[in-house]
Structure 1
Amino acid sequence: MGIPVIDYNGPSNEGVSIHQNNIKNGYRCDTATAYLGPISHHRKNLTILTGHRALRLVVNEQTMVCEGVEVEEEEFLLAEEKKRRAGDLKKGWKGYFSERKRRFVPVSKEVVVSCGSISSPHLLLLSGMGPKEELEKVGVKCLVNSPDVGKQLEDHLSLFVRASVKEGSQTVTERAWMEGDRELKERGEGPLASSAADCSYFFVSEAGKKVAEPYPDIQLSMIVAPCDEDFYHGNLRYTSHFNYYTNPSHQINPQTEGVCFVITHLHPRSRGSVTLQSSHPLDHPVISTNFLDNQHDLDVLRCGAEKMVQVCKQPSLRDLDIQLLIPPHLHNDDQIDWDGYSRHYAKSLYHPTSTLQMGKVLTPDLRVKGVRGVRVADGSVMPGITSGNTNAPIIMIGEKVVDFLA
């Protein structure tokens, strides 16, 4: 196919590249481990308050300066919430929260909101910062009329496509996973010390070329994985995602060696939103992803799936005898209804961004417009989603905010 091997940090992003991962001694090294772990026990100017939830930012309505954050012990919150839902508590949430359990955390300089692309807009909305009409509709007083709070939600949407391979192909079986688990625990090495998908092919789809897409809009990865459906339930939390075959005689043997292709649309046109369900902080926000609302998104995923089929037919993979496991109702001879597959089985890759966009809701130095003393540092600040996974850019955003505060 003539696909070049590239460094995706270089000038060209189209091609195959080995992944860079946050892995230390065989385990994922998250930001808490890397940043907080080494300093959390001896830094006198750091207090980590666990088991609490931020209820709202407290803003002085005369000066429009954020004076602090109101928080509540989560265990008490959940107990009170059970009573509220049972009808034992009739008052609004401000009426029954215990003054003893509720805490006001004052701020001397600035509050940095870093709750993620769902909870950060949720907190701002609860604090009266957002579209005035939407806030007043649920009984929240509007302090800052900011129409774009919670809007423009973007995410990476993926198709997971299972495939069986010829027995003895040395992919991964259940027994191999058990051996890999022992190797990981003893030496921090082996197949389980990898990210499972060790490289990806980034490219501009044919649908993307028609609209002059400037960046890769498809990421094609392959996970070496057994055909055991429980593997996907346990690791990806995709309950019944691959339960295509209701007839027991058609079920795939869990010991069958296999792979799983992951086709990810990197720059979807569909946009979602995060809005308030109510003024109560324990009522989850309404998340409308609007996945596949735009026909272009279906076209791109179809192109990605067709490219995957081409890859499977390459001479270097022919000996594996790759057989795609497609639901019977979406498969007719050699024709696969990829649009139908996308509508039924497309899943979020959990990379939400852009709900508090820099330039609209935030200033270039990530301050919330209309109020003083509040910044945001997470994926919600992105003007648009990145082609690559969002973990590294979000860490960079946090680092940049540290520079702003210094």
Structure 2
Amino acid sequence: MELTCGSGVAGASVAAALQFFAASQCLLQEAWPPQARVPNGSKFDFIVVGAGTAGAALAARLAELPHRVLLLEAGGDPPQESIIPGFKDSMKGSPYDWNFTTVNDHYSSQALQDGSQRQPRGRMLGGSGSINDMIYARGFPADYDEWASTEGDNWSWANVLKYFKKTEHITDERITKFSELVEYHGFDGEIEVTGKKESTFTTEKFLEGFRELGFDIVRDMTNPNVIGAGRFSHTIRDGKRDSSLTALLNKASKRDNLFVLKDALVTKVLMEDNVANGVKVLLDNKEFHFYAEQEVIVSAGTFNTAKLLLLSGIGPKEDLKKVGIEVVKDLPVGENLHDHIMVLTYLAAENGTCYVDDKTKHLNTIKYLYDMSGSLTHTSELGAYISFNNSAKNVPDFAIYSTCMPLNSGFYDSCKRLLGFKPEICEKISSANEKYEILTLAVVNLKPKSRGKVTLQSADPLDVPLIYSGTFSDSRDLVNYPAAMRVAHSLADTSYFRSKGAFVLDLGLEECKGLRERSKRKCVARATAMSAWHAVGTAAMGLVVDNELRVKGVRGLRVVDASVMPKVIRGNTNAPVVMIAELAADFIKKRLTSA
């Protein structure tokens, strides 16, 4: 078909635009690992279950050895939009997401639909590292030293820092120009950690507000010695998402000893005499068995790792008996589930802080496709850490993450689909957004004491696991929420936001009406609490695995992902999971050389 674009300058512009958009399809393509051809019954040295953040990194490292490695992923290739930072939320709630939700506990999260929290997890190569916010955070030394106090010096801050630096390629000039910051970063790793020198008007106004509230403004949000408010670094390379998939697995897949099978759902770890020797896999609606001569390594994520171990007979014996699964090893798999607790609060303000018109939006799309610049190269940028501990002022307890929603943002659909609020709450926020910009302030408990559980609803591997969040099951997690929310709301009283007439948006929760301020904030926190999507702990060190991540009482089986964290770190979990994979690779290499 011939396309007539017209003549003159306008016609030429349209023709150029069409050529340019066609070329952009190539620009956005990634060379994902090809589908391997593996006969049923094949043997490998290592089988890695799950090609998410941990599995992609670990499989790539194991492929550096003279051993055959099979990597199994339940999903397929990520879609094109996965590599565009500004489209990070577009895949949540899609077929590229496991779309997990929690069971209603009839206590917390009752302002959410069905009292259930959304738990997005990537079902594709890269796993949740293909849908996350790309924030590079590590937690703090106290987090790892707490692990080391029970699990040994391998997990101390002094040791894990080496493994963070091993994978990191820091290019953030806000950090690289300062020697006191450089010593905590790596320059030779595969995953780029970058940041932009230029800042947006919105970010500067938020930082001004935090400064006025008494926060230190910090250059490096991973600085282990200082907390305050600042701009995060991100795992972004040349305007595109960077991850253990793009930086490690894509390259390693060119090796002839690494075999990647996609759309392959592992349904059971095969064991004989308490020795793991392979896996059962559902592929093309057929059952396959693959065998491992060295180790089976489960890297399926906090929810699916627990599910697979339970399906394989490793877990609490009473829970397994209920669903008719023979007990191989009685271990507390699925217990110790916990997550950062997130409470979203909102300020409404007159227009001017985050204003973006349609013309600018379209221009930013064109700029991105043309030279990987503009707002689509950005993701969540700003955070502020709060400590309520007088003896550990540089160890945060809460974080505030701020974003800005322009007028008429069309928030209603994402409010219901992504956040899961009840329709009347989404309507309240959306109606306010017709008149005001909305400043979203996520108030996050970074070190919760509450614990939940993951268990099976049946022995059918196609059934989703039951996720009990346990949010606020320990009442101590609520104690500091009113104070943390008050800090967030105080931004409305700072000079700039006061000039914009900012005020706290009351969500009108019926159960919180008539309460005094502190009690009302506590009530709102409990009712609106949701996951910050950093769930950990279901196969924790000391409980399910030992300090080298080997499943207790089962030889040849190891777990490598966020599920092994005995306690969540104070920050986003992606970079720590890469660190765990790097350390696990060294555990395995050490075992091979000493055998």
> TM-score band, normalised by the shorter chain?
0.7 to 0.9
CA 1:385 to 1:261, structure 2 compared with 1: closer, same or farther past 3 Å? Answer: same
Distance 1:2 1:254 in 2: 32
Offset of residue 28 of structure 1: 2.3
CA 1:238 to 1:8, structure 2 compared with 1: closer, same or farther past 3 Å? Answer: closer
CA 1:333 to 1:349, structure 2 compared with 1: closer, same or farther past 3 Å? Answer: closer
Distance 1:213 1:60 in 2: 51
Please tell me whether residue 237 in structure 1 is matched to residue 418 in structure 2: yes
**In structure 2, what residue type is equivalent to 1:103?**
F
Please tell me whether residue 26 in structure 1 is matched to residue 210 in structure 2: no
Preserved CA contact (<8 Å) 1:202 1:218: yes
* CA deviation string 1:21-45 (max 9, x = no partner): 11122232232222222232x2111
Preserved CA contact (<8 Å) 2:339 2:533: yes
Distance 1:213 1:136 in 2: 47
Please tell me whether residue 2 in structure 1 is matched to residue 183 in structure 2: no
**In structure 2, what residue type is equivalent to 1:68?**
G
CA 1:278 to 1:50, structure 2 compared with 1: closer, same or farther past 3 Å? Answer: same
Q: What's 1:45 paired with?
A: 257
Preserved CA contact (<8 Å) 1:377 1:398: yes
Preserved CA contact (<8 Å) 2:347 2:492: no
Please tell me whether residue 200 in structure 1 is matched to residue 383 in structure 2: yes
Q: Which secondary structure does the structure 2 equivalent of 1:341 belong to?
A: helix
Q: Which moves more between the two structures, 177-186 or 134-143? A: 177-186
Offset of residue 176 of structure 1: 4.4
Identity of aligned residues (%): 29
Distance 1:376 1:213 in 2: 34
Distance 2:301 2:426 in 1: 37
Please tell me whether residue 106 in structure 1 is matched to residue 295 in structure 2: no
Q: What's 1:12 paired with?
A: 225
Distance 2:397 2:486 in 1: 14
Offset of residue 194 of structure 1: 1.5
Offset of residue 365 of structure 1: 0.8
Q: What's 1:67 paired with?
A: 277
Q: What's 2:455 paired with?
A: 275
Q: What's 1:182 paired with?
A: 366
Offset of residue 351 of structure 1: 0.6
Q: Which moves more between the two structures, 178-187 or 363-372? A: 178-187
Distance 1:331 1:212 in 2: 36
Number of residue equivalences: 372
**In structure 2, what residue type is equivalent to 1:24?**
R
Distance 2:434 2:424 in 1: 12
Please tell me whether residue 396 in structure 1 is matched to residue 576 in structure 2: no
Please tell me whether residue 286 in structure 1 is matched to residue 498 in structure 2: no
**Aligned partner of 2:531 among 338, 345, 348:** 348
Preserved CA contact (<8 Å) 1:163 1:227: no
Aligned pairs for 1:194-343 (under 5 A) are 194-196=378-380, 198-205=381-388, 215-226=395-406, 228=408, 230-231=410-411, 233-234=413-414, 237-240=418-421, 243-244=424-425, 251-254=431-434, 256-329=436-509, 330=512, 335=517, 337-343=520-526
**Aligned partner of 1:133 among 301, 318, 323:** 318
More helix by share: 2
Q: Which moves more between the two structures, 396-405 or 221-230? A: 221-230
Normalising by structure 1, we get a TM-score of 0.83
Distance 1:130 1:325 in 2: 45
Q: Which secondary structure does the structure 2 equivalent of 1:356 belong to?
A: coil
Offset of residue 104 of structure 1: 0.6
Distance 2:359 2:444 in 1: 29
Q: Which moves more between the two structures, 42-51 or 157-166? A: 157-166
Offset of residue 261 of structure 1: 1.1
Preserved CA contact (<8 Å) 2:354 2:405: no
Question: After TM superposition, where is structure 1 displaced by more than 6 Å over at least 4 residues in a row?
Answer: 211-214, 331-334
Offset of residue 232 of structure 1: 6.6
Offset of residue 252 of structure 1: 2.7
Offset of residue 220 of structure 1: 0.7
CA 1:176 to 1:335, structure 2 compared with 1: closer, same or farther past 3 Å? Answer: farther
Offset of residue 103 of structure 1: 0.6
Q: Which secondary structure does the structure 2 equivalent of 1:328 belong to?
A: coil
Preserved CA contact (<8 Å) 2:412 2:426: no
Q: What's 1:54 paired with?
A: 266
* Backbone CA RMSD of aligned residues: 2.8
Gaps of at least 5 residues in structure 1 are: 77-100
Offset of residue 135 of structure 1: 1.0
CA 1:366 to 1:246, structure 2 compared with 1: closer, same or farther past 3 Å? Answer: closer
Q: What's 1:379 paired with?
A: 562
Normalising by structure 2, we get a TM-score of 0.58
Gaps of at least 5 residues in structure 2 are: 1-212, 590-595
Q: Which moves more between the two structures, 155-164 or 176-185? A: 176-185
Q: Which secondary structure does the structure 2 equivalent of 1:109 belong to?
A: strand
Offset of residue 158 of structure 1: 0.9
CA 1:121 to 1:13, structure 2 compared with 1: closer, same or farther past 3 Å? Answer: farther
CA 1:382 to 1:8, structure 2 compared with 1: closer, same or farther past 3 Å? Answer: same
Offset of residue 335 of structure 1: 4.5
Distance 1:186 1:283 in 2: 44
Distance 1:180 1:331 in 2: 43
Preserved CA contact (<8 Å) 2:349 2:497: no
Preserved CA contact (<8 Å) 1:229 1:243: no
